[in-house]
Amino acid sequence: MERTRPKSSALVAGREELAPSNRLRLSVAVRNFGPVPVLEALENVARIGFDTVDNFSWRDPNEFHIYRENLPRLDLGAGVLVVNKVPDVNALGCSLTDPADRDGFLRELRGCIAAAEAVNCDRLEVLSGNVVPRLTRVEIMNNCVQTLRAAVPLLEQHGMTAVVEMLNSTQEHPGYFLDTVRDALTLIDRVGSPRVRLLFDIYHVQLGEGNIIRKLREHVGYIGQIHFADVPGRHEPGSGEINFRNVFKAIYELGDRYTGYVTAEYEPTDYSFRDLELIKELATFG
Would you list the DSSP string of 69-98? HHHHHTT-EE--EES--SSSTT-TTS-SS-
Task: Quickly state the pLDDT bin for 286 (edges 50, 70, 90).
Answer: confident
List the domain boundaries for the chain.
23-282
pLDDT tens track for 115-157: 999 999 999 999 999 999 999 999 999 999 999 999 999 999 9
CB 125 within 8 A of CB 80: yes
State mean pLDDT over 72-85: 98
Of the candidates 140, 135, 124, which has an alpha carbon nearest to the alpha carbon of residue 177?
140
Cis-peptide, bond into residue 72, ω within 30° of zero: no
20 sits in the region (left: phi over 0; alpha: psi -120 to 50; else beta) called beta
* Helix boundaries (H) for 7-136: 38-48, 61-73, 102-118
List the end-to-end C-alpha distance of the chain, in Å, as a whole number.
Answer: 37
pLDDT tens track for 204-263: 999 999 999 999 999 999 999 999 999 999 999 999 999 999 999 999 999 999 999 999
Task: Quickly state the pLDDT bin for 19 (edges 50, 70, 90).
Answer: low
Architecture of domain 23-282: Alpha-Beta Barrel (3.20)
Q: What percent of the chain has pLDDT over 70?
A: 93
- pTM of the predicted model, to two decimals? 0.92
CB 249 within 8 A of CB 213: no
